[in-house]
């Protein structure tokens, strides 16, 4: 039977009539699913462990909420300490731990099990495996898979801030950069070699994935515990990224942070500083960084500080064995070429 009776012949199936192709082309495609990336700024914050990412993010997210923004803070560090300052030192149940318990009980994870709020800031912790029982990076990937099941791409936030451990930029820790999950990266560093080494590694990762077709850029550098020596400013200039804020090495900040006190309040002593940081983070353009070589990075510091003048002396086999070696005759037969 032919199409006049509602069917197509074998020949027509292999080569459909032009009018059928036109009719098919005129059919409107299904609308694309709504994603958080359209109206939401998703920003990944990286930095060396202990440099003050969690402190910076807790106060930044709090200030943004006080400015009327809807903010979600997600801790992506296996230490699960991103939200501790925000919640006054209280531990937040992690997504991975909660998911494991719910699965064993035959239940499903709900938003209220893993997401909590304070003064307009919504926050959660991905968590990680117990020590020696799994890969932290894989835990991050698993955590984001659970977030997608909870409807992550349908949530309506102005800002989603992701707190990532910057010491490692592989696997799950490099997920936002490798998979274009965020629009830009913010780096937290200080005037010390190790934190700037980590910041440079993050810039290198951004540049690497940019060459592979990625679109994530570096929004800028936040200098924490700034003692005025200038190495972080020099790094930012050399890498071609802006400085979003310089948080001073002040005893008042140190003391309040240690006591889990939010200082990013509009009416407080440090309110103007975090209000400026919030504005700079919101408006920061994603820059393509210029990572430094190891020698250029060392060049930001004095030779006495980093041992730049040390000469590498090759070791000998005698050094390794700790005794005088006797050359033994070889049993190898060497044939002379004719």
Active site residues: 48, 53, 79, 167
Strand locations in the chain (E): 41-47, 71-76, 116-118, 121-125, 159-165, 184-189, 217-226, 243-248
- Rounded CA-CA distance 194/48 in Å is 8
Sign of the Cα torsion 160, 111, 106, 92 reads: positive
Residues 151, 185 contacting (CB under 8 angstroms): no
- Rounded CA-CA distance 123/109 in Å is 16
- Phi/psi at 285 (nearest 5 deg)? -85, 145
- Rounded CA-CA distance 46/296 in Å is 21
- Rounded CA-CA distance 62/88 in Å is 13
Closest CA to 286 of 159, 198, 177: 177
Phi-psi label, residue 224: left if phi above 0, alpha if psi -120 to 50, beta otherwise: beta
CB neighbours of residue 239 within 10 Å: 23
- Rounded CA-CA distance 206/186 in Å is 11
Residues in the chain: 338
């Amino acid at each position: 039977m032919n199409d006049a009776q509602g069917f197509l012949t074998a020949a027509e199936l292999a080569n459909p009539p032009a009018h059928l192709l036109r009719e098919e082309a005129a059919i409107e495609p299904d609308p694309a699913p709504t994603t958080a990336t359209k109206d939401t700024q998703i920003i990944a914050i990286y930095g060396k462990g202990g440099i003050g990412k969690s402190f910076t993010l807790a106060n930044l997210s709090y200030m943004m909420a006080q400015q009327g923004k809807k903010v979600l803070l997600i801790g992506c560090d296996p230490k699960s300490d991103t939200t501790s300052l925000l919640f006054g030192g209280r531990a937040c149940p992690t997504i991975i731990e909660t998911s494991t318990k719910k699965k064993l009980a035959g239940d499903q994870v709900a938003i209220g099990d893993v997401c909590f709020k304070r003064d307009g800031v919504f926050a959660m912790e991905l968590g990680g495996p117990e020590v020696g029982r799994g890969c932290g990076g894989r835990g991050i990937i698993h955590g984001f898979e659970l977030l997608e099941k909870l409807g992550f791409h349908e949530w309506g936030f102005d800002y989603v801030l992701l707190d990532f451990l910057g010491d490692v930029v592989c696997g799950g820790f490099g997920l936002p950069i490798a998979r274009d999950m965020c629009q830009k990266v913010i780096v937290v560093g200080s005037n010390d070699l190790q934190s700037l080494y980590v910041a440079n590694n993050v810039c290198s990762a951004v540049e690497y994935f940019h060459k592979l077709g990625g679109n994530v850029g570096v929004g800028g550098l936040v200098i924490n515990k700034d003692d005025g020596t200038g190495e972080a400013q020099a790094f930012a200039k050399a890498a071609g990224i802006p400085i979003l804020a310089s948080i001073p090495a002040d005893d008042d900040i140190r003391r309040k942070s240690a006591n889990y006190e939010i200082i990013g309040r509009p009416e407080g002593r440090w309110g103007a500083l975090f209000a400026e940081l919030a504005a700079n983070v919101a408006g920061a353009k994603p820059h393509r960084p210029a990572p430094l070589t190891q020698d250029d990075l060392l060049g930001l510091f004095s030779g006495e500080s980093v041992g730049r003048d040390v000469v590498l002396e090759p070791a000998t086999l005698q050094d390794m064995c700790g005794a005088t070696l006797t050359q033994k005759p070889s049993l190898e037969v060497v044939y002379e070429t004719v």
